[in-house]
Amino acid sequence: MWENFPKDVLSDICLRLPTKTLVICACTCKTLLSFITSPEFMASHNKKSKDKPFTLLRYYIEGEKSSKEYFALHPDNGFSESNLMFRELPAKFRRCNRCFNFVGSCNGVICLSDDISSYTNVIYLWNPSIRKAVEVPYPNFTFGPCGPYDMCVGFGFDELTNDYKVVRLVYLENGWQPNQLPPLVEVYSVNSGSWRTITASRPMYYVRHMFMFSRDQESYSQCYLNGYVHWPGFIIQPKKGAHSLEEVWRVIVTFNVRDEFFGEMKLPPCLEGSSNGSIKLKVTVCCDMLSLILISDGKCDFSIWVMKEYGNMDSWTQSFRFNNPAGYPVPRALYFRENENLLILASGCCYNWRSKNALRVLSVDCVRDQKEVLETLEGELKGLYLGSYREGLALFNEGKTVQDDEVKDEVRVDELNAGRILSKNLPCGCDIAKVILNLKIEHLQ
């Protein structure tokens, strides 16, 4: 029957269906399977998915009896309990560390790397929407042939060949000197199923292995946008007036996923040459713009810079500034949702920012001055990640199925109904209310 449908009609029907329904349809007959898994339809589905953005929250809770790694999705077009997805990591994902580093996500595919504190070389590409995963084979540059090293991973998508790629930069240790430059570089392609060494184009900068904050030490500072992977790049130089070395921010290192070459983009002038010790820097995507989240070493203020015109270095604009006139620790700025609400992490006790309990992820509407509790996190929090996520069909053909009994979905209506909106009517005795009410959010542009 389906083979008699005009392709444009069939496409219009399928694009209206949820991703999970499409997976079921693809299993019913060869015609639908061939159509739904075709590169043309997948490209159309990716474009359609951009109209339905989610905020992806990944976190790891370390408890006395058990520790778990969770993934939650929240619709960006408003809270919808029926659409909330909450999952544990598939049990068959083997790892040696307590949790995975979260590298990034693209078209519904999540890249996870087991490299927090050991040379395990385990990387997974996982599409939770269709319950498919690819275990990336061991890379070429490992501890055996290379000895001690530091490394960084990036993840992106080649639209021309419909291929997902992982790029790995390996900095060999050089005794007491800084690690070797340029790094060894290799690229894994899902289409080829193997690693390939890159020698023609290698960066002359270091890229930060992880975003060095205690609460999200298992999340990379990297992002994919407009066909490029981005990392903050720095050099190591002698510290003025001292017999020691310091890390100094210089550029944003880029990697062209299609042509597999490296480049660089200038930082805002006020950031170039600043010390890694005084300013922590995260590169991300906010509202489809390349963005930088900055935190000072004293943790008393944050700022967000956006590149309003991609590739135009003169378009860097300080979009938001955060400070707390009362002197309390400022909640952490994390991410901008597609609805332009700001996500921040706030402690339940403003006097004890590093408290292990009562952490809340808040979605702040800066225009209406409303704060929504997106998540309440209890226990010792590690591996926090927040970013955009769009469901997709990627890895349908290449990935192995993760069985249903290995993934648990829950809709936690009762837990999330409590305290949805924080407003100025909160009782003064609530510590978190004091923190938020004292937080000055200055919208600059």
Tens digit of each residue's pLDDT (9 = 90 or more) over 68-85: 778 888 777 654 444 456
- The span from the CA of 73 to the CA of 409, in Å, is 11
For residue 215, tell me if it sits in a domain: no
Distances (CA, A) of 344 to 212, 297, 330, 372: 17, 18, 10, 10
For residue 368, tell me if it sits in a domain: yes
349 pLDDT more than 80: no
Axis crossing angle, helix 39-49 with helix 7-15, rounded to the nearest 10:
40
User: In this predicted structure, what is the pLDDT of residue 437?
Assistant: 41
For residue 44, tell me if it sits in a domain: no
| Residue 339 or 106, more confident | 106
Domain containing residue 445 = 75-85+328-382+413-445
For residue 436, tell me if it sits in a domain: yes
For residue 445, tell me if it sits in a domain: yes
Of the listed ranges 159-168, 222-231, 301-310, the one predicted with least confidence: 301-310
Three state DSSP letters for the chain:
CHHHCCHHHHHHHHHCCCHHHHHHHHCCCHHHHHHHCCHHHHHHHHHHHCCCCEEEEEEEEECCCCEEEEEEEEECCCCCHHHCEEEECCCCCCCCCCCCEEEEEECCEEEEEECCCCCCCEEEEEECCCCEEEEECCCCCCHHHHCCEEEEEEEEEECCCCEEEEEEEEEECECCECCCCCCEEEEEECCCCEEEEECCCCCCCEECCCCCCHHHCCECCCEEECCEEEEEEEEEEECCCCCCEEEEEEEEEEEECCCCEEEEEECCCCCCCCECCCEEEEEEEECCEEEEEEEECCCCEEEEEEECCCCCHHHEEEEEEEECCCCCCCCEEEEECCCCCEEEEEECCCCCCCCCCCEEEEEEECCCCEEEEEEEECCEEEEEEEEEECCCCCCCCCCEECCHHHCCCCCCHHHHHCCCEECCCCCCCCHHHHHHHHCEEEECC
Total domain count, the chain = 1
| CB contact at 8 A, 186 and 140 | yes
User: In this predicted structure, what is the pLDDT of residue 326?
Assistant: 52
Average pLDDT, the chain: 76
Half-sphere exposure of 347 (CA within 13 A, CB side): 15
For residue 432, tell me if it sits in a domain: yes
What phi, psi does 192 have (nearest 5°)? -85, -25
For residue 279, tell me if it sits in a domain: no
135 pLDDT more than 90: yes
Split at pLDDT 50, 70, 90, the class of 179 is: confident
pLDDT tens digits, 199-257: 988 999 998 755 444 444 556 789 999 999 999 998 888 887 777 788 888 899 999 99
Which residues is 328 bridged to in the sheet? none
**Cα 162–Cα 155–Cα 19 angle in degrees, nearest 5:** 55
- The span from the CA of 380 to the CA of 224, in Å, is 29
pLDDT tens digits, 22-31: 888 888 888 8
pLDDT tens digits, 262-286: 999 999 988 887 776 677 788 988 8
67 pLDDT more than 60: yes
For residue 120, tell me if it sits in a domain: no
pTM of the model: 0.83
Which residues is 268 bridged to in the sheet? none
Half-sphere exposure of 85 (CA within 13 A, CB side): 20
